[in-house]
Structure 1
Amino acid sequence: MFARKNCFFLIALLLGLSGCAVISEEECRVGLWYERGLQDGARGRPQSQVYDIARECQNYDMPMDSEAWLQGHEEGVETFCTAENGYDQGRRGRNYQGVCTGPAADLFLLNYERGLAEYRVEQHYQSLLWRRDSLQRELLSLRHAYRNSDSEVQLRALHFQRSRLRWELQMLDMELHRYGLFGSRYSTSGFYPRGFFSARLFYW
C-alpha cells in the first residue's frame, strides 16, 4: 500500500512537470500505467486518451501497458463521476468531456450544469464590475481634461464623451442591481457592497 501511494505521488509529480504534453519520454520510461490511468480518470480525461499516450510512447520506442491504464482509468472515473464533483467542476468553469456513464452520468451532469450556470453568472458579474471600474477611470480623466481646457471645441467634445460614459454607467448600474437577488456571497472581497451602485457620488 505504501509503495502504491509513492507510485501515485511520483506519477502526479511527473504529470505536473510535463505541462500540456500528453506524456513525456520520462513518464513513458517510468511506466506506472495503472497509477496514471487512475489519475487521468479521476481528472475526467476521456478513455480515448490511451491512444494518444500509446502513440507518444511508441515515438520514444517504449511500450505502454494499455490494459493497466484502462483498469486504473475505470476506477478513477468512478471517483470523478459524483454529484459533488459535478457541481465543483461546473463551479470552476472546467470542461466536461463526457466520461461518465449510466445513472451516475445523469446526476453528474445535472449538478455540473448547475455549477456551470453559477460560474457564468459570477464571471459576467465580474466583467461588469471591471467595466465599471474602467468607466470610472475614464470619467476621472475626462473631469481633469474638462477643468484644464480653454478650447470651446474640445469642451464640447469632452461634454459629449462624458454624457456617453454616464449613460453607459447608468445602464451598467441597472444590470448590476439584478445581482442583488443572488445574496451576500456576491459581496465578498473584491466586490462592491450591495446598494453601492445606487449612489450618485460618482456622477459629475
Structure 2
Amino acid sequence: MRLVKRSYFFSVINRVIQQAKMPWLAVAVVMLSGCASMTEQECLTANWEDKGNSDGRAGYGLTRLDSHYKACANVGVTPNMQQYKQGREQGLKHYCTPENGFLQGQQGQAYRQVCPTDLAPTFLRAFTDGKQLYDAKQRITDVANDIKEIEHSLSNESDKAQRRYLRQKLRGMNRELQRVRHDRRYLESRLERARYYQHQ
C-alpha cells in the first residue's frame, strides 16, 4: 500500500511539472550548468597547459584549478596540475602587464594578487592609477546624481524655508562637482605621462 501511494505521489508531481512546463526549472538547470568552469566535452579534450595559459591570461588564481577538478570529476577526468601551472605562469605574463593593470583598475576590478613577485610591482602601480581614475569618475557620477535629486526636490517643494535650504545645498553640490571634475582633469594630466594610459 505504501509503495502504491509513493508511486501515485510521484506520478502526480511529474504530471504537474509537465503541465506547468516549469519554465523556472529550465532556467535553474541552465544557471547551474553555467556555474561549471568547464563543460564535459572540454574536460574530455582539454590540453591542460593551454587551459592554464588561458586562465592565467584572464587573471585567475589557482583556486580556478579546484573548479576544474569539480567540473571534470563527473566524466572521470583529472586535470594535469603540472601542465596547468606551467601554462598559467605563461598566461600571467600577459595579464600582469602595466597596461592591463591600469585597465583592470580603470574598470573598477579588484586586485587579485595573482602576479608573480617580479611583475607585481609595476602591475600594482598601474592598477592603483587606474583605480584612482575609476574612483574619480564614480565620484563625478554620484555628485551629478545627487544634484539631479536636489533639483527634483526643489521643483516639487513649496515651503520657502525648505526651498532656501535646498538651494543652498544645491550650490554646495555644484561646487563639489566642479572640484571633483578638476581633480579628474589633474589626474588625467598626470597619467598622460604614463605610456599605459589612453585618454578617453
Q: TM bucket by the smaller chain? A: 0.5 to 0.7
Alignment counterpart, residue 180 of structure 1, candidates 182, 186, 192 = 182
Q: How many Å separate the matches in 2 of 1:85 and 1:20?
A: 26
C-alpha deviations, 1:128-176, integer Å up to 9, x for none? 111111222222233xxx3xxxxxxxxxxx3343233223212211211
**1:54·1:66 contact (CA, 8 Å) conserved in 2?**
no
C-alpha deviations, 1:163-195, integer Å up to 9, x for none? 332232122112112122433999xxxxxxxxx
1:75 equivalenced with 2:90 (yes/no): yes
Q: Find the residue that maps to 1:183 and give its secondary structure.
A: helix
Task: Return the TM-score normalized by structure 1.
Answer: 0.66
- Tell me, which stretches of 5 or more residues in structure 2 are unaligned? 1-32, 189-200
Q: Give the share of equivalent positions with the same residue, in percent.
A: 28
Deviation at 1:127, TM superposition (A): 0.8
Q: How many Å separate the matches in 1 of 2:162 and 2:39?
A: 55
Give the letter aligned to residue 169 of structure 1.
Answer: L
1:97 equivalenced with 2:112 (yes/no): yes
Q: How many Å separate the matches in 2 of 1:72 and 1:172?
A: 51
1:117 corresponds to: 132
Give the letter aligned to residue 161 of structure 1.
Answer: Q
Q: How many Å separate the matches in 2 of 1:20 and 1:132?
A: 40
1:191 corresponds to: none
> What is the aligned residue count?
155
RMSD, aligned α-carbons? 2.5
1:39 corresponds to: 54
Distance 1:180 1:37, change over 3 A: same
Q: How many Å separate the matches in 1 of 2:64 and 2:45?
A: 18
Distance 1:131 1:63, change over 3 A: same
Deviation at 1:20, TM superposition (A): 4.9
Task: Return the TM-score normalized by structure 2.
Answer: 0.67
C-alpha deviations, 1:71-126, integer Å up to 9, x for none? 22111001011111111111111112111122311111111111111111111111
